[in-house]
Amino acid sequence: MKLWGKRTVLWVAAVLVAAVAVAGLPLIKVAPIGTGFAAKTICSNVFISGRDAAEVFREDVAPVIFPAASVSYRVDRQAKAVTADIFGFAEARAVFREGCGCTLVVGVPETELNTQPIAAGEIRESAIDDLPWLTAGREIGGPLPPGVDAAKLEQALDAAFAEDRPEMPKRTRAVLVVYDGRLIAERYAPGLTPGMPLLGWSMSKSVTNALVGILVKKGRLKLDSPAPVREWQAQDDPRRAITLDQLMRMSSGLEFDEVYTPFGDTAAMLCESGDFAAYAAAKPLAAAPGSRWSYSSGTANIISRIVRQAAETETPNSYHFLRRELFDPIGMTSAVMEADPSGTFVGSSYTFATPRDWARFGLLFLQDGVWNGKRILPEGWVTYTTTPAEKAPRGEYGALFWLNAGAASDPASRRWPSAPADAYSAEGFQKQQVIIIPSRKLVLVRFGATPTPQAWNTEAFIADVLAALPL
């Protein structure tokens, strides 16, 4: 590098440090979160989704971190890794491993990550569309079911992708409509395809719900028993009383700051911790168990470790369990649940699958946990899942799913007032959604890169689709 180039970099770096310090955000705290998010996001989208790195940075990284212009990244396709830094500082590195996606190198040496026996040797079946929703050419078959208004259905998709407010872009990436077991509408943004796995973010929590259900069905876990968390086993530890059900319903009472800033627990856990469950389990009680509802990604990762430990009593590793017990039986063969550095799948945030496979997941719940005549989830599990947490003020949360039930004292006070009260959903950052409406035999899937939540109107989307369907 020429002398003037070095001086320029040092000058810009100095200005950045000063600016961040003046703003009250110490660079030592902000930078690792930004570079960690960049490295992990680019790694996952390049090596799982097959997307272009520059596009991922522009659409998925830059709108989230600040100042994005200061972040540099390098993709090593031979090593299947991505490194990011800010003018040479705060370097973060994420590595890809077949079967369990990308993981930040934090707290565990990269050589150890590459030898973890969690996904190696897994053989995935070829994707099979075994539902009556696609023709042999893997396209939507016709004619549409009786009573479906094709014109209104097309209008609903048009509205889902329309960018009518440039200052608040929707950036919808995919929309699918599954009615009465058939895929009747499907559309993708330019550059995306039906075979491209997409990140569900917190829809992962709902996948974790299914895994717990399977273990409950096997008798490996009990909802009303104290959660088997090693950090809480001291006789005088009040957290010892927390049950698995309270964790599932976000009612554990544990302290956890669910904000996505450099000073929030979520960002610190995902970008700086080597063991996400341990990070969350170390938190003290902020309230008595069961006395309040508080959404927490940390809670979901505690459950992930509980699932892993229970699964590994009967399978070689938890990834074998994921495939054998859930993904393969329902044909969700594109699914990848990424691991944290400790080797536990990140049940709060990091599940990739094609939109069609996310639709399969929704259909499993619409069918009461039964797939092709085989019961995957225990009888009564969907009812348990959709029963509102006692302390959720508007009946908006069940067991790792969002609900539209409404407040017990005022059922009209609910998330989507005009939508059916039995609607429930798996939802993730930037409005990733799998919406299930049993009374209308409907599953909706929506993916996007929506930077402003208000840009996407879920209630209007549901109404538009329902207007195209028979009553």
* pLDDT score, position 138: 62
* pLDDT score, position 411: 87
Contact 392, 296 (CB under 8 A): no
**CA–CA gap between residue 187 and residue 176 (Å, rounded):** 7
In this structure, is the dihedral angle defined by the CA atoms of residues 239, 242, 244 and 245, taken in order, positive or negative?
negative
> How buried is residue 223: exposed, middle or buried, by Cβ count under 10 Å (0-12/13-18/19+)?
middle
Contact 419, 462 (CB under 8 A): yes
In this predicted model, what pLDDT tens digit does every residue of 347-384 receive, in sequence order?
A: 999 999 999 999 999 999 999 999 999 999 999 999 99
- Selection from 69, 304, 131, 115 nearest residue 210 by Cα: 304
Mean pLDDT of 146-154: 97
**CA–CA gap between residue 368 and residue 327 (Å, rounded):** 16
**CA–CA gap between residue 434 and residue 369 (Å, rounded):** 15
Residue 465: strand, helix, or coil: helix
Cα of first residue to Cα of last residue in the chain, in angstroms, is 69
Length of the chain as a residue count: 471
Contact 302, 212 (CB under 8 A): no
**What are the sequence ranges of the domains in the chain?**
3-97, 128-196+354-471
Contact 79, 46 (CB under 8 A): no
Place of tokens 């989507």: 416
- Going by the DSSP 8-state scheme, the letter that residue 445 receives in this structure is E
Contact 352, 44 (CB under 8 A): yes
Contact 100, 319 (CB under 8 A): yes
In this predicted model, what pLDDT tens digit does every residue of 308-349 receive, in sequence order?
A: 999 999 888 899 999 999 999 999 989 999 999 999 999 999
CATH of 128-196+354-471, one of 3.40.710, 3.40.1010, 3.40.50, 1.20.1280: 3.40.710
- Selection from 53, 119, 89 nearest residue 338 by Cα: 119
In this predicted model, what pLDDT tens digit does every residue of 201-230 receive, in sequence order?
A: 999 999 999 999 999 999 999 999 999 999
Furthest-apart CA atoms within the chain: distance in Å: 73
Return the number of other C-beta atoms located less than 10 Å from residue 287's C-beta: 15
CA distances from 118 to 104, 114, 340 (A): 16, 10, 11
**CA 420-426-428 angle, 5° bins:** 125
In this structure, is the dihedral angle defined by the CA atoms of residues 107, 112, 113 and 117, taken in order, positive or negative?
negative
Mean residue pLDDT across the chain: 91
**CA–CA gap between residue 356 and residue 132 (Å, rounded):** 13
* pLDDT score, position 69: 87
**CA–CA gap between residue 301 and residue 315 (Å, rounded):** 20
Question: Residue 122 pLDDT more than 60?
Answer: no
- Going by the DSSP 8-state scheme, the letter that residue 443 receives in this structure is E
CA 115 and chain centroid, separation:
26
